[in-house]
A and B are shown apart, each in its own frame.
Chain A
């Protein structure tokens, strides 16, 4: 079946640094999504991307839908302690198919 390869699996960075993570697939996706999960909570949507090449920002977060439709990245600028958590990419492999597939997550740690 279709899979999303998310990297890196974990990151340790200094507060104030920029962060970059990405997600790739061997097949085409029609929608790319980025979620964040904090301890003890369910994932929350950060950014949704619906068109190839689309670049979208949400505060310090920026995400792009790759031209090939097989990849997406998420950048976080000037990281702060509350950015700690697990970031998931997710995608919808076929139009109007609600079987959204999730990557395995990137766990972000921020060092003081």
Chain B
């Protein structure tokens, strides 16, 4: 089983709908992240969390919200999806201290029509 699991893997939705992407991890890491990947644009940080009570905005947080339900769970929500939020979304974890080693999930591909 994957250490970092994302659900759903693929989702097609319509403009204005609320969408939640979920991430769970079995690595025991405190730190969790949500990134967005668009073709040719690399990975952009949306939100990150150092522990259950700590949530921080990343580079492109507008239009997104997150919830850290437990150490192992970090969900990303789009309250009212729009077409330019069509992208590949990655959850990642790190233990901190070992700076830089992010462990990524397999990604959730979201299409907003």
Interface of A toward B, CB cutoff 8 Å: 1, 4, 6, 9, 31, 33, 35, 40-45, 48, 50, 88, 90, 92, 96, 98-105
Chain B contacts with A in 27-58, Cβ cutoff 8 A: 31, 33, 35, 40-45, 48, 50, 58
Known: A104-B41, A104-B42. A98 touches B106 (CB 8 A): no
A98 touches B43 (CB 8 A): no
The A contact surface, by secondary structure, is loop
Q: List 10 A-B contacts (CB under 8 A).
A: A1-B59, A4-B42, A33-B101, A42-B104, A45-B100, A45-B101, A48-B101, A99-B58, A99-B59, A105-B42
Query: B56 → chain A, closest Cβ, in Å?
Result: 8
Query: B76 → chain A, closest Cβ, in Å?
Result: 15
Contacts of A42 in B (CB 8 A): 4, 90, 92, 104-107
Query: A63 → chain B, closest Cβ, in Å?
Result: 13
Contacts of A88 in B (CB 8 A): 42-43
A92 touches B43 (CB 8 A): no
A103 in complex: contacting residue of B4, B42, B45, B100, CB < 8 Å:
B42
Query: B27 → chain A, closest Cβ, in Å?
Result: 13
Q: B94 in the interface, Cβ–Cβ < 8 Å?
A: yes
Contacts of B99 in A (CB 8 A): 31, 48, 50, 92, 96, 98
Query: 5 shortest A-B CB distances, which residue pairs?
Result: A42-B104, A102-B43, A104-B42, A102-B42, A33-B100
Q: B96 in the interface, Cβ–Cβ < 8 Å?
A: yes
Q: B102 in the interface, Cβ–Cβ < 8 Å?
A: yes
A31 touches B106 (CB 8 A): no
Contacts of A4 in B (CB 8 A): 42
Q: Please, how many angstroms separate the alpha-carbon atoms of A43 and B4 in the complex?
A: 12
Residue of A nearest to B94 (CB): A98
